[in-house]
């Protein structure tokens, strides 16, 4: 797990976002426990409170559940909800790419050609 100390994003949010990405990508399966709060805090050299806040955010989003004395485990994921979350992520990434393209002076056609090229490369791998 990578934490950017000088990022504008709070550390707990970075942790929650990375776990969320991993859960949605299937790196953590249903019923699997996340690392212990104390263990993760020690590994990342951050406060236990910061780690707890990240886990509580994941719990509020319905991705994990707290088990007293055991930690937090991954909930079953609704496939339709997973698809929606992935679609939202794609939409955010494309919006960010469009903004970068505009700054770079790229037109819509040039941006579409770049996307088509990248898709073609991926299909041929």
Mean pLDDT of the chain: 91
How far apart are the C-alpha atoms of 72 and 34, rounded to whole Å?
6
Answer whether residue 79 shows pLDDT above 70.
no
CA angle 30-48-68, nearest 5°? 45
Answer whether residue 115 shows pLDDT above 70.
yes
CATH 2.60.40.1290 fits 11-74, yes or no: no
SS3 percent helix, strand, coil of the chain, rounded to 5, is 60, 5, 30
DSSP letter for 8, please: S
Average pLDDT over residues 83-104: 90
71 bridge partner residues: 67
The domains of the chain are located at 11-74, 79-123
Least confident of 2-11, 44-53, 80-89: 80-89
Average pLDDT over residues 73-92: 81
């Amino acid at each position: 797990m990578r934490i950017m100390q000088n990022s504008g994003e709070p550390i707990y949010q970075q942790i929650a976002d990375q776990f969320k990405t991993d859960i949605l990508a299937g790196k953590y399966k249903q019923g699997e426990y996340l690392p212990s709060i104390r263990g993760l805090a020690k590994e990342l050299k951050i406060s236990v409170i910061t780690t707890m806040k990240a886990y509580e955010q994941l719990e509020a989003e319905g991705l994990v559940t707290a088990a007293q004395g055991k930690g937090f485990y991954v909930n079953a994921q609704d496939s339709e909800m997973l698809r929606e979350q992935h679609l939202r992520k794609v939409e955010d990434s494309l919006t960010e790419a469009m903004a970068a393209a505009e700054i770079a002076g790229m037109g819509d056609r040039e941006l579409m050609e770049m996307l088509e090229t990248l898709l073609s490369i991926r299909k041929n791998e």
